[in-house]
Amino acid sequence: MDLTASLRSGESLGDRLLKVNHAGEHGAVHIYAGQILAARWTAASMLPALREFKAHEEQHRGIFWTELKRRGRPRCRSYWLCAAGSLLLGAVTGLLGRKAIAATTVAVERVVLFHLDEQVRVLQGHDDAAVAAISKIVADEREHLSAFAEDADRPSAWTPLLTVIVSASTRTVIWLGLRL
């Protein structure tokens, strides 16, 4: 992954990654918001976990926003695109029920955790503040993955396709965020 894709004048790699992460967390908040809305009818037993994970994502978004403000950097240009697409994804997968919610969370978190691990590897020793901000959220993201992994590992006939689509979409949004 080329993390130096399109740095703007005066922008560090840490700045760019924090902007993308901030937009991604905004998207995650909206995935959970859409799932919470729909899961009332399709997977009510998941609501406490979904609400807790949404609160985690709101905290993560705040961590990245605080660091961006400290650096004097604006939001990523993909910020509202992440919200709109994620709300739709959350609502649709929420309507599809428990297995779709689980498959979506696991697919997103696998891509995100790979991306975050790569960021820490690249930024280690170069941007300690960015590494610290990223490192603050990794444990929560792993918790989200493991909480729904069992449901996702028992897929229905269509969840493997959903997993591929969600994973590819997540990678695409990250790629776009690095370039917008």
- Give pLDDT, residue 3: 52
Q: What angle do CA 147, 152, 158 make, to 5 degrees?
A: 155
- Per-residue pLDDT tens listing for the chain (180 residues): 455 555 666 789 999 999 999 999 999 999 999 999 999 999 999 999 999 999 999 999 999 999 999 999 999 999 999 999 999 999 999 999 999 999 999 999 999 999 999 999 999 999 999 999 999 999 999 998 888 877 656 767 888 899 999 999 999 999 999 988
- Residue 85: inside a domain, yes or no? yes
The three-state (H, E, C) secondary structure of the chain, written as one string: CCCCCCCCCCCCHHHHHHHHHHHHHHHHHHHHHHHHHHHHHHCHHHHHHHHHHHHHHHHHHHHHHHHHHHHCCCCCCCHHHHHHHHHHHHHHHHHHCHHHHHHHHHHHHHHHHHHHHHHHHHHCCCCHHHHHHHHHHHHHHHHHHHHHHHHHCCCCCCHHHHHHHHHHHHHHHHHHHHHC
- Residue 122: inside a domain, yes or no? yes
- Residue 33: inside a domain, yes or no? yes
CB 105 within 8 A of CB 39: no
Considering its fold, how many domains does the chain have in total?
Answer: 1
- Residue 7: inside a domain, yes or no? no
- Residue 1: inside a domain, yes or no? no
- Give pLDDT, residue 150: 75
- Residue 101: inside a domain, yes or no? yes
Residue 114 tokens, joined? 């790979």
- Residue 3: inside a domain, yes or no? no
- Residue 5: inside a domain, yes or no? no
Q: Which long-range contacts (CB under 8 A, 24 or more apart) does 49-52 make?
A: 49/147, 49/148, 50/101
Residue 167 belongs to a domain with what CATH number? 1.20.1260
Q: State the residue range of the domain holding 163.
A: 13-179
Distance (Å, rounded) from C-alpha 174 to C-alpha 41?
31
- Give pLDDT, residue 9: 64
- Give pLDDT, residue 49: 96
